[in-house]
């Protein structure tokens, strides 16, 4: 349960702090949402049978790494640009994106309940 809370906090941090369009804030926000959608789908598929196989763990680990690497990159890119941060936050501030965040949290909750969860690595992300 502690891990779920920590991961949810990281996602919330990423969605709120990271500010990112083409190569600007809006485009970066869209990419982050796409990464979140893809990762949510990957996790949900893996959790269907309540068992994480080695190939599923690799896909999830790769998705988590890509997501968190992107969050770090974007955070660094816009850390001194309040206008870009605001643009990013405004893009994310929709009911649809809030639902995506909830879906991601629920997927992570399912993942934590699966046999083989220990194959998932959060090292370097926290």
Q: What is the pTM of this model?
A: 0.79
pLDDT of residue 79: 93
For the chain, domain boundaries:
2-15+28-119
Tokens 């809370």, located at residue: 5
| Residue 88 to residue 90: CA distance in whole angstroms | 5
pLDDT of residue 23: 72
| pLDDT averages per 10-residue partition of the chain, 126 residues | 56 50 83 96 97 97 94 93 93 93 94 94 68
| Residue 63 to residue 40: CA distance in whole angstroms | 9
Beta-bridge mates of residue 115: 51
| Tokens, residue 33 | 């949402």
CA-CA-CA-CA dihedral for 6, 97, 59, 62, to nearest 10: -70
Element (DSSP H or E) covering residue 69? helix 54-78
pLDDT digits (tens, 9 = 90+) for 29-53: 999 999 999 999 999 999 999 999 9
């Amino acid at each position: 349960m502690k891990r779920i809370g920590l991961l949810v906090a990281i996602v919330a941090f990423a969605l709120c702090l990271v500010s990112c369009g083409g190569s600007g804030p809006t485009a970066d926000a869209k990419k982050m949402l796409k990464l979140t959608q893809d990762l949510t789908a990957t996790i949900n598929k893996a959790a269907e049978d309540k068992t994480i196989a080695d190939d599923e763990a690799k896909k999830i680990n790769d998705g988590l790494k890509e997501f968190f690497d992107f969050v770090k990159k974007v955070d660094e890119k816009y850390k001194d640009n309040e206008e870009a941060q605001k643009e990013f936050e405004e893009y994310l501030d929709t009911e649809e994106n809030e639902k995506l965040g909830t879906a991601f949290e629920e997927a992570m909750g399912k993942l934590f309940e699966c046999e083989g969860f220990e194959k998932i690595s959060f090292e370097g992300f926290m």
